[in-house]
Structure 1
Amino acid sequence: MLEIREGSILLGADHKGAAVSLPLKMCNRHGLIAGATGTGKTVSVQIMAEAFSRAGVPVFVSDVKGDLAGLAREGADKDFLHKRATDIQLPDYGPEEFPVRLWDFYGEGGLPIRATVTEVGPLLLARMLDLNDTQEGVLAITFRVADDDGLPLLDLKDLRALLHYVSERRAELSAMYGNVSPASVAAIQRRLIQLEDQGGALFLGEPALDVRDLIRTTRDGRGVLNVLKADKLMMAPRLYGAFLLWLLSELFEELPEIGDPEKPKLVFVFDEAHLLFDGASRALLEKVEQVCRLIRSKGVGVFFATQDPGDVPDDIAGQLGTKVQHALRAFTPAQQKRVRAAADGFRPNPDFSTKDIITELGVGEALVSTLQKKGVPTPVARTMIRPPASRLGPLTATERKAIIREDELSTQYAKAMDSESAHELLAERADRMAMEAEKAESKAAQSKRKTTTRKRRSSRMTVTERAINTATRTATSTVVGALLRGLLGGLKRR
């Protein structure tokens, strides 16, 4: 029978029959779960989520295939699962369901997740929109104007209105912050249409997610498993990556420092991690690296799941203490090189060649290395991963709806809000300008009538008087026309 260490979660058994465990105290040192398609990577994520829940640790995981939602239901009584439990001498194995909260970026298969434009910020929003450096600079100026003028940016209509406002003031703002070109503003506006087509309007708005709602336990002490339905979101890779990076940075900003806890407050699992880093700017990568380095003191453990361990940049990979490596394929010289690099990332085991074993692992097998108490990595172990107790497969539509309906947070997040923000404030400002323009026009008309009366009294005018009168009419007409042009194109309330 496996001897499971106290304060650890069981991952499986090594080739000698010894337990391979992950100390909870080391889970905020982050980790990597890698392997080619079909090698058991998702099941490893599933059994780790189960173990964290039993230990009272909440988990947030993106479910790109739909299978992880099965954590909410008991697993089927399958012979191959019992055989694996018997092979590794797993005690008290049986079906079990876990407390699951379903989330969905689009609000269709789970509680909607929303954030305000201000919370997302210009850096991540620029990645969502795939902006170039010049356009990103104009977007940053737009956010600065919002801060300076007290204009809350909550949703896409706020951002559109403010971009129009910035464009109208581009001469003044260019002198203060740098060039604000109409072409860049127009390009951003076009990208906002694309973002809206991808569902961005559903994400950007209120009520904004309170990240503390991700860190909950049940009355019996189990950690709640937050499962994000991400199959549709995956179709917009940049949006998916930027969204998860926003969520991680929000946790970093909102959670207090707690040092090195006995177990993490939350474990965050990024599936398809390559989408977080593909095409990311250096500034964004530096931010991610900084967040990963510092968030451990907030009690958050971050695990990246991906097909190729090389998908994770070196500066971030160097911070990953736990490694679960499933089989890799090596049919080409480039793939063989990646296999050697993956093998070199483990502490050697004298019983076998890591480089050779990586390509020989069967489904449900992995090379595992964790951190010991003093932060020293264990020698790599060839591990038979324990079988999951929850369902291997997705929920039915009926089951998903029932879980959402019974969720205590459904009334808090289900319905969108539309608070007063930049769009409304700029519309009010435009209305005031229109009234002032109308008053100016009325005053000019009154002045004209008085002039006409004076003409009737005396039709003789000097050359100077005629010049002054002409200049006044021209100036008044110009002011009114400029004001009216400034009110068109979105500033007026629709």
Structure 2
Amino acid sequence: MTDQPSIFVGGGGDAYALPQQLLLKYANRHGLIAGATGTGKTVTLQILAEGFSAAGVPVFMADVKGDLSGLAAAGTDAHKLHTPFMERAAKIGLQLTYRSFPVTFWDMFGEKGHPIRATVAEMGPLLLSRLLELSEAQEGVLNVAFRLADEEGLPLLDMKDLQALLVFIGENSEAISTRYGLVATASIGAIQRRLLVLENEGGAKFFGEPALDLGDLMLVDASGAGRINILAADRLMNSPRLYATFLLWLLSELFETLPEVGDPEKPKLVFFFDEAHLLFSDAPKALISKVEQVARLIRSKGVGVYFITQNPADVPENILGQLGNRVQHALRAFTAKDQKDLRLAAETYRPNPRFATEEAIRDVGTGEAVTSMLENKGIPGIVERTLIRPPSSQLGPIDPALRAQLMVQSPLKGKYDTVVDRESAYEKLRARAEAAARAAGEAATPAPSPWDRAASSEKDDGYRRARRYDPDQEEAPAARRTTSSRSDSIGTAFAKSFARQLGTKSGQAVVRGILGSLFRSR
């Protein structure tokens, strides 16, 4: 075993197999955990998170199946797997002790953890277009919207900001098209419908403030152990594109925000991307290029990225080539395509003369894997058949009462719980619409002409004559008819003027502004 700081992954249990250790110095060179369903990927993910936390490295991971919360509780000898775990530990030379780890729970919906949010502006048009599954033309309109928001000083913070901006663009499409290129109302309508679908799925809760402070993902506890950030993703997986886009956004924010650190002795943060195939499925080339760039360069920021998926073929080749630390659980070859994928997966490993890699990947059992870790100078290690070490924390989810207790004790309690709705694009556009409606209303009320003043004077004289006619101060029938006739003519004239105004373009704009203000205020 090496003297360098490392994480013990497992051993072979025979005289020839070398113990497999993940060197912390090369942990930011990224990695892959792959294998068919039920072959042990979750346990591998759990023991790696434990190792990083114990070494003082914060971790971020998504809990897709709801069973990673067990990291917050110590394992116990009452568990049904205690005896097999102890036997495996003895076989691979591990002194297994149970312990818990510091965990911070997150939840986009704010139910099982701290709410996690980002602003629309932070998400940006590229990722938002991916999230909404927009066409190229619709993505172009969204780019115009973001550009206009920047130039007009309209902060895009939450969903209603973007919706209000799209309404504004639709109402002023001719002028905007002249400056930025054609902005089709059909494209605006398509984007609005996509936003409605996203809102119905609960995605609107992700956009807003307070936005996530990346520093809160890189905390350590009083003992120096790195906090394990667990995102509740069991409900989020009902919107797989939202899940993948969120994780990619988070990865991009880390890349753009963190400073260069070169090759540190251990990572500043390790990021586990579970169900990674969702990120690359039907993704446009521009997005794949961005992921490739982030994966290639973020290691110099001290961040290690580990993709978890069923088949290595789910990951594009250019990105797969950057994943140096690999744990390959069993792949099943039931079809010709499966056999091809198995053969390609085996070819990516440095061969071991003791066994055929392809056969080993096919034959390893649950809790066993074919592994290859980076060695000194970043050289890939020889592939080994490895029994994955048992976890020290609880296998399976914790009970809701313990989760609630840990939430109360969280160092982030109260920081993200209350939504902040400061002035942004929605409020500014509503104020503009109301101001325009008032100005248009004032312009539509003409000043009294000399003819109107004369008519008013004549009416007053008639009213005075009527009062002299009736000592009991009752209006004469003629005066009542005169007053009523005059009032009717003024009301009719106003109605006719307003009707003519509705026929003009400015009149239509006033009505849209008023109605838009009413609808947006609800």
TM bin, normalised by shorter chain, reads: over 0.9
Query: Secondary structure in 2 aligned to 1:258?
Result: coil
Inter-partner Cα distance in structure 2 for 1:297 and 1:451: 82
* Other-structure match for 2:56: 56
Superposition map of 1:211-226 within 5 A:
211-226=214-229
Inter-partner Cα distance in structure 1 for 2:328 and 2:503: 74
Inter-partner Cα distance in structure 1 for 2:108 and 2:38: 26
Query: Secondary structure in 2 aligned to 1:418?
Result: coil
Match of 2:93 among 86, 89, 94: 89
State the percentage of identical aligned residues: 53
Match of 1:242 among 235, 242, 245: 245
Q: 1:374 Cα deviation (Å)?
A: 1.1
- Say whether residues 1:80 and 2:84 are aligned partners: yes
Inter-partner Cα distance in structure 1 for 2:500 and 2:103: 70
Inter-partner Cα distance in structure 2 for 1:65 and 1:476: 58
- Say whether residues 1:490 and 2:516 are aligned partners: yes
Relative distance call for 1:357 and 1:304 in structure 2 (3 A) is: same
Contact 1:75 1:392 in 2 (8 A): yes
Q: 1:8 Cα deviation (Å)?
A: 1.0
Query: Secondary structure in 1 aligned to 2:291?
Result: helix
**Equivalent AA in structure 2 for residue 13 of structure 1:** G
Inter-partner Cα distance in structure 2 for 1:211 and 1:168: 38
Relative distance call for 1:455 and 1:356 in structure 2 (3 A) is: same
Inter-partner Cα distance in structure 1 for 2:377 and 2:175: 58
Query: Secondary structure in 2 aligned to 1:324?
Result: strand
- Say whether residues 1:322 and 2:325 are aligned partners: yes
Contact 1:69 1:394 in 2 (8 A): yes
Q: 1:476 Cα deviation (Å)?
A: 10
Query: Secondary structure in 1 aligned to 2:21?
Result: strand
CA displacement, residues 355-406 of structure 1 (integer Å, 9 cap, x when unaligned): 1111100111111111122121111111111110001101111111111121
* Other-structure match for 1:10: 8
Superposition map of 1:301-450 within 5 A:
301-442=304-445, 445-446=446-447, 449-450=449-450
- Say whether residues 1:135 and 2:161 are aligned partners: no
Q: 1:435 Cα deviation (Å)?
A: 1.6
Inter-partner Cα distance in structure 2 for 1:269 and 1:29: 13
Inter-partner Cα distance in structure 1 for 2:238 and 2:146: 28
Query: Secondary structure in 2 aligned to 1:87?
Result: helix
* Other-structure match for 1:41: 41
Contact 1:134 1:184 in 2 (8 A): yes
TM-score (norm 1): 0.93
CA RMSD of superposed structures (Å):
2.0
Q: 1:198 Cα deviation (Å)?
A: 1.3
Q: 1:178 Cα deviation (Å)?
A: 1.7
Inter-partner Cα distance in structure 1 for 2:319 and 2:62: 20
Contact 1:35 1:327 in 2 (8 A): yes
Match of 1:251 among 251, 254, 275: 254
Q: 1:483 Cα deviation (Å)?
A: 3.2
**Equivalent AA in structure 2 for residue 225 of structure 1:** I
Inter-partner Cα distance in structure 2 for 1:112 and 1:373: 41
Match of 1:156 among 156, 159, 166: 159
* Other-structure match for 2:27: 27
**Equivalent AA in structure 2 for residue 362 of structure 1:** G
Inter-partner Cα distance in structure 2 for 1:320 and 1:340: 18
CA displacement, residues 438-458 of structure 1 (integer Å, 9 cap, x when unaligned): 22112xx216x34656999xx
**Equivalent AA in structure 2 for residue 307 of structure 1:** Q
Superposition map of 1:106-125 within 5 A:
106-125=109-128
CA displacement, residues 201-244 of structure 1 (integer Å, 9 cap, x when unaligned): 21100100001100011111111000111011111111110010
* Other-structure match for 1:462: none
**Equivalent AA in structure 2 for residue 302 of structure 1:** V
**Equivalent AA in structure 2 for residue 276 of structure 1:** L
Query: Secondary structure in 1 aligned to 2:260?
Result: coil
Inter-partner Cα distance in structure 1 for 2:127 and 2:308: 21
Match of 1:192 among 190, 195, 201: 195
Contact 2:27 2:267 in 1 (8 A): yes
Relative distance call for 1:141 and 1:95 in structure 2 (3 A) is: same
* Other-structure match for 2:208: 205
Inter-partner Cα distance in structure 1 for 2:337 and 2:428: 56
**Equivalent AA in structure 2 for residue 217 of structure 1:** V
Inter-partner Cα distance in structure 2 for 1:480 and 1:248: 47
CA displacement, residues 23-47 of structure 1 (integer Å, 9 cap, x when unaligned): 1111111110000001000100000
Query: Secondary structure in 2 aligned to 1:22?
Result: strand
**Equivalent AA in structure 1 for residue 181 of structure 2:** G
Relative distance call for 1:200 and 1:488 in structure 2 (3 A) is: farther
Q: What are the ranges of 5 or more consecutive residues in structure 2 without an aligned counterpart?
A: 457-496
**Equivalent AA in structure 2 for residue 446 of structure 1:** A
Relative distance call for 1:452 and 1:480 in structure 2 (3 A) is: farther
Match of 1:264 among 264, 267, 275: 267
Q: 1:475 Cα deviation (Å)?
A: 8.1
Query: Secondary structure in 1 aligned to 2:363?
Result: coil
Inter-partner Cα distance in structure 2 for 1:423 and 1:394: 41
TM-score (norm 2): 0.88
Inter-partner Cα distance in structure 1 for 2:455 and 2:410: 79
Deviating 4+ runs (over 2 angstroms): 3-6, 14-18, 449-456, 473-480, 488-494
Contact 1:161 1:491 in 2 (8 A): no
Contact 1:441 1:476 in 2 (8 A): no
What is the aligned length?
Answer: 475
Q: What are the ranges of 5 or more consecutive residues in structure 1 without an aligned counterpart?
A: 457-470
**Equivalent AA in structure 2 for residue 60 of structure 1:** F
CA displacement, residues 442-489 of structure 1 (integer Å, 9 cap, x when unaligned): 2xx216x34656999xxxxxxxxxxxxxx9x97897365133134055
Relative distance call for 1:362 and 1:261 in structure 2 (3 A) is: same
Inter-partner Cα distance in structure 2 for 1:5 and 1:158: 55
